[in-house]
Amino acid sequence: MPELPEVETVRAGLEAVLPGHRIVRVDQHRGDLRFPLPERFAERLAGRTVLRLDRRAKYILVHLDQAEVLAVHLGMTGRFSVELPHCQRPTQVPSRPHQARRGNGRGESQQPEAAQLGEFTHVHGHDTKHDHLVFTMSHGAVVTYNDARRFGYMTLVPERGLNDHVYFSGLGVEPLGEALTPHYLAGRAAAKKVDAKALLMDQRIVAGLGNIYVCEALFRAGLNPFKGAARLATSKGKPAPAAVRLVVAIKAVLADAVKAGGSTLRDYKQADGSLGRFQHHFAVYGREGQPCLRPGCRGRVRRKTQGGRSTFYCPACQR
């Protein structure tokens, strides 16, 4: 499942080609993804102008005119690709030289260039039979949503009711936003009978965090993922030093991952088709049995199943 940095990478790729342009046509090849698509989905989108793109937790939010939002969740295998004529290609969308199509000898491109905007796939390749939605834009861009396992989903939500929608009403604060503070985390952790990792994985408390970055943040903060979350608060409910360290670690690891274009565990790709690089900076995730990277620590990374997921940690320095 893609996590916040990977979804943000896809959002940034789409932002380079969608805002300010009109959806001319939507070719809808099926009536459902993970859930049924809204009635008259393609018809309701045709003619609409994209105003801006946002992200909420692991959702991409495409703000449209007429005060409506297209909400997109990529699920496990959802991905976008963009094609547009070379002469109209926005400079913001990176393109690797070896991906350019051959020209006709006069400096012109014979075919549109294509950029993959985030592949969260399980090595199934690009099979066009999984191209479920194709958006044709007014400036010539063709944006295709491909989803082999159809775990992704989309819906249309009124702008005014966005925060009250079932997908968003129960979400916690954004981990990269100002609302995530040591005081907030301590307040949510006080008297909790769950472990530290479970607290962070709860989307009702912090929205968008997933297994990879929780493991990495807990390591950076030097906190044992199996110990109680209540340790983040003092007996008076104020932030303990552990809460301060953890908030700093969460924001830092996510910022580093976004800057690196996300993490590639199987075949996730950035907007230009290149692999995310943050997996090369993992301190604990996927490093079972390897030496701890914290200076002065002689421990080795362990893996233990926790809440149905693999937790990677150093028992020597995470206490």
Measured distance CA(262)–CA(181) in Å, rounded? 24
- Give me the active site residues, please: 2-3, 58, 309
In this structure, the number of other CB atoms found within 10 A of the CB of residue 316 comes to: 14
Region 65-71: mean pLDDT is 98
- Percent of the chain exceeding pLDDT 70 equals 80
Q: Say whether 282 sits in a helix, a strand or coil.
A: coil
Report yes or no: 153 and 145 within 8 Å, Cβ to Cβ: no
| All domains in the chain, ordered by first residue | 4-100+110-164 (3.20.190.10), 182-262+280-313 (1.10.8.50)
**Integer Cα distance of 57 and 155 in angstroms:** 16
Q: With 70 as the cut, is the pLDDT of residue 274 above it?
A: no
Using one digit for the tens of pLDDT, what is the confidence trace for 275-311?
444 445 789 999 999 999 999 999 999 999 999 999 9
Q: Which strands sit side by side in the sheet containing 131-137, from one edge to the other?
A: 23-28, 131-137, 142-147, 78-84, 113-119
pLDDT digits (tens, 9 = 90+) for 109-135: 344 445 555 543 333 346 789 999 999
Whether pLDDT at 144 is above 80: yes
Per-residue model confidence (pLDDT) at position 134 = 97
Residue type for position 175: P
pLDDT at position 41 over 60: yes
Sign of CA dihedral 56, 217, 119, 75: negative
Indicate the DSSP class of residue 242: H
Residue 2, pLDDT score = 77
